[in-house]
Structure 1
């Protein structure tokens, strides 16, 4: 019997990572599926008439062993993968999609669910139970339960194929990211680069027993390189390598995979009776339809575009005056923006980084959470972790009761995908009057400490940490009965509200006073720098907004129409980007072939939700600003109506309960300096 299928006999019932071997996973998945099937059979075979308790609730608590195994395994596949784990992922993904379909397409189970659903008016359910019933019914009806047998089989085949393709897509992106290195041996090629970046590149070269400096496509290496390197040819080299991931007609090429995924998603929607994949997805979002998303995006685009064009013209003039650049290219954007920002605000990351030591910033996030929500974080050393760099914390409330276990994993390494995300190893739920507390994790790729310096964050990394920590609070403060409605299990265009709102505290003097201290002298960040951070917050906001909207519109391009006509990814993207394009096209690059958010993560037809949630977060934060950013009353309202409620009610109901009104887009336009 696998260790993974038992109750973990560990502190807080945390995952016993050091005792889990790769070969444990496949048998554990098989056992987990077997146990979950037995639970489903028991529901179906129950001779008593279907009730909310014996059908809907029983279903909500079924499969918990399988869920735990899946969480552990797929989190490792993102943060600590290797060839063996990737091979297992390819094996278990079809099994899981098959099992999911066995449940959703089980006619006897659906008949019981339908019986309860049809009596819903008479059942006297509370809002959370009503939501659960609605979601359970839709998880069947929206996934083919009402279809004839041949269509159900078609659906199974599509789902199996899709789960394999998205895994393959992610593996290819990771392989391409890791395959490229820029090896510099000539010291003059390092001109302009920050000392910390140079030191990290030297350490990497040393670890590979090479002379000089090695730069990679991992964010902490790539971003500083294209932002600061004076050597334009090398910036171009790096930028083209970054943009060519999955688009090089080699063994890791993603072009066919992208076309297949888009087509299969469309076919799936058609089988289910929806016009497109986006129509299917958006039915269960605040936005409701592709038309509404496009209108929302185009309205914002109309307001942002004049500002973006003006900013781009200013940047073009600046680059020409400074270096005689005739035509700004994509590899010039970050470089000259940074230089212009320094000129306008006399502010650059190198001035700021000494005030943002990772440990202090993390303590700052903890302090903000304590002031707002009364929770404390204590580092603990007696629980297992999947890598020695991971830090673990017990989160307690004011009564010293456990709120959550928190894992934090901050640095890039082989086997960890790029970017930053929040995830969980165990959801919160209430069963038999026991409130099971969640195990939440954030994973980032920040600059590692070097021999001479601790990990010092760019301001962008500071906001990233707060962003992911905002998601983590949504998971940690969850207080719902059912695991499937807990924490971040909310409508996708609502999920970014808790993360994005927390970023606002990074710009507030009162919050910065909690953590922004010079790592050597201990002096607090000077107020003039704080004012500059605030002033520069809306610097090039028009360009940034256009960029975000372009990704959302590309996503809609793939998913809000029949993609069968698309044969050439490059030509298709050029067409999609026409309204938002500022820089000349780079022939060797494509966005879609490494657009993991929509082809591997869960953001297909949902990329617009970042902007959608920005409207919510700007409006919500104005409420905090009116009353004070650490105002207990507003914080409690936010905790009780948003953070702890998960997906138990419609997001707009929760939002209005917190705010007293629907969100107004003007708050975002004001903050972005677009009005």
Structure 2
């Protein structure tokens, strides 16, 4: 076994990725899975009566080596997939599911956990909390089932592991394999920075000229600026064809039967546990509690969003007709004419801002906000990571190590689309304790030439701040146990820190300091800055509507009997909402990875908006203080939420910070929908 997979020897305790080969993973997996199984047997086979130390605390470390191995493997599988890693994923998934079923449904362990839980009121708060969660999670995993129901639950979990892996790999195949050469006569309207990015995308794939790919940082600005309507249609349809069987991977990448089977198995699993449907099962431990509460919130926002979208649709359709195009506004037209409308109404062109949004400057802004709020310092370190453009920083406070932060910002072939935050290592205080190693992954367009400056769109900059907001949850974590560390919180609470951090990007005080022209060093002109901020909600009806469509379809999929034909059900939901035809779902079902690549956001995509209600109110707390960097408010936020992880129920943490539950008014005002 390559010891580097679990005993990391790189700078600041990072893995030495340069010493890890794909063929190392399979033998290491065998050894670490066996070690985890042995640790589990030692717990359940202990002849001594169950105690917190010999049962609950022992569970916290039973899978330590396996978790370290898998954190390395799944990081690489996400940021740099290849056929060998995809094959390993397909092999690991059902075996991990079988192990998970065996341990989480073990009646011997369940009996010991219940025995400890009987006396948990006498335990310290964090010990009581992880005991309570262990009992809850085993119950929800099916530990209380017997006979055929128990066997069927294990079968479902094994099959689900295979299906969710297949779904993810199908989307990745369609994204990776699509490359469209673009000729010189098709470039009208495209800004120079986008042309450079398209040329860089071609070079990265060993081609000459310019190409379009399905990287969001390319396709969104392309749809905003390309005057060639036919080409916009081609690109939009390619983007939305991912996972349908009509994408670059063909029928082999068809996710429609995969998603239908996932929904059916989730429903069956929920019913085995005594729930009416998967939505009821999923929402039981969340802040929302039940689907009716989610629909009530989303319904309030939907009315305002779709009303604004309809107003904008009339304006955009008129602009389409002014250009001599008859017929309705189509989905591939919306972003193009919305960009023109933004220019007309706000005298704002996004291309004017791009030279001021250099990646280095925006990373500096992210770090500066963290310094001013939480007194965090960032020192770059040299480390052998998985790609030359991936970077790492040592995060300290008053000289004390707080975490290691890794940033992987550029798109590359084989990298999963989107942006996310994960941890190679969680903070905890077991033994000598350890600090988090947290990773932010984005898919920004790389510079045309190595070493040249990279620039972000406003949406990219928002993504950068969002993912670092998640990182603060890991960096500032200060709990005893890994199972409640960092972002280990209710799903509809986890987006609060990330969405809250986005607010500082929009502040003139931050932009004036960091948004500087890459050549002259001059600050973003005040009038351009003000027009940028004013234009921020110019297309709020569209953005909110496309999000809500996805959230409501997700919820409908998991309420009642699951659909056999997911596209038919998707269409029914959108029709019942009266959704504008020119605004499709943000994530159509065949590539809705949030929902079908795992259970985290299944029946939970609403959580972004649930958290947004809180993040708008949380930022209002800073505004009410008269200082958006108010030390007392920042300290209270850290002490009540960011450092606490899942050490208490989400509602309790929120009330400790704000002392009341929020309403939707701040959200509607923030989105310009009030």
Partner of 2:359: 358
Q: How many residues align?
A: 666
Contact 2:255–2:590 (CA under 8 A) maintained in structure 1? yes
Segments of 4+ in structure 1 off by > 6 A? none
Residue equivalent to 1:421: 420
Contact (CA 8 Å) 2:545, 2:583: kept in 1 or not? no
The within-5 A match list for 1:526-541 is 526-541=525-540
Structure 1: 5+ residue stretches without partners: none
Of the candidates 173, 179, 182, which is equivalent to residue 181 of structure 1? 179
- Aligned mates of 1:429, 1:161 — CA distance in 2: 33
In structure 1, the residue corresponding to 2:404 is in which secondary structure? strand
Please tell me whether residue 600 in structure 1 is matched to residue 601 in structure 2: no
Q: Could you tell me how far apart the structure 1 residues matched to 2:434 and 2:665 are?
A: 40
For residues 344-388 of structure 1, give each alpha carbon's deviation from its aligned partner in whole angstroms, at most 9, with x where no partner exists.
11112200000010011001100100000001111101x321111
Q: Secondary structure at the match of 1:444?
A: strand
User: What are the residue-to-residue correspondences of 1:85-100 with 2, within 5 Å?
Assistant: 85-100=85-100
Residue 138 of structure 2 corresponds to 140
Distance verdict in 2 for CA 1:509–1:90, change over 3 Å:
same
* Aligned pairs for 1:640-655 within 5 A: 640-655=639-654
With normalisation by structure 2, the TM-score equals: 0.96
The match for 1:570 is 567
Considering only aligned residues, what root-mean-square deviation do their CA atoms show, in Å? 1.8
Q: 1:336 to 1:260 in 2, by over 3 A?
A: same
Work out whether residues 191 and 229 of structure 1, in 8 Å CA contact, stay in contact via their aligned partners in 2.
yes
1-side partners of 2:209 and 2:447: how far apart?
19
- Aligned counterparts of 1:408 and 1:504: Cα–Cα separation in 2: 21
Higher deviation after alignment, 235-244 or 264-273:
264-273
Give the C-alpha shift of residue 552 in structure 1. Answer: 0.5
Report the CA distance shift for 1:16/1:149 in structure 2 as closer, same or farther (over 3 A). farther
Work out whether residues 516 and 525 of structure 1, in 8 Å CA contact, stay in contact via their aligned partners in 2: yes
Structure 2 match to 1:461: 460
The SS at the match of 1:429 is coil
Shift of 1:6: 4.6
Per the TM alignment, residue 336 of structure 1 is displaced from its structure 2 partner at its CA by: 0.6
In the TM superposition, what is the alpha-carbon distance from 1:674 to its structure 2 partner?
2.0
After superposition, residues 507-522 of structure 1 pair within 5 angstroms as 507-522=506-521
Mapped to 2, the partners of 1:210 and 1:389 lie a distance apart of 21
Matching residue of 2:191: 194
Give the alignment partner of residue 618 of structure 1, picking from 616, 619, 626: 616
Please say if 1:235 is aligned against 2:236. Answer: no
Go from structure 1 to structure 2 and tell me whether the alpha carbon gap of 1:333 and 1:105 turns closer, same or farther (over 3 Å shift): same
Distance 2:661 2:57 in 1: 32
Q: Deviations over 1:628-663 (max 9, x none)?
A: 111100011111111111111011111111112212
Determine the C-alpha separation between the residues in 2 that align with 1:203 and 1:377: 30
Q: Distance in 1 between matches of 2:645 and 2:134?
A: 16
Aligned pairs for 1:280-359 (under 5 A) are 280-359=281-360
Look up the match of 1:405: 404
Deviation at 1:13, TM superposition (A): 2.2
Change (3 A) 1:117 1:586: closer
Show the counterpart of 1:17.
17
- In the other structure, the counterpart of 1:149 is 147
Aligned to 1:272: 273
Residues 668 and 109 (structure 1), Cα distance of their counterparts in 2 relative to 1, 3 Å cut: same
Residues 660, 447 of structure 1: alpha-carbon distance in 2 compared, 3 angstrom cutoff: same
Shift of 1:85: 0.5
Offset, 1:323: 4.7
Aligned-pair distance for 1:162? 0.6
**Residue aligning to 1:546:** 545
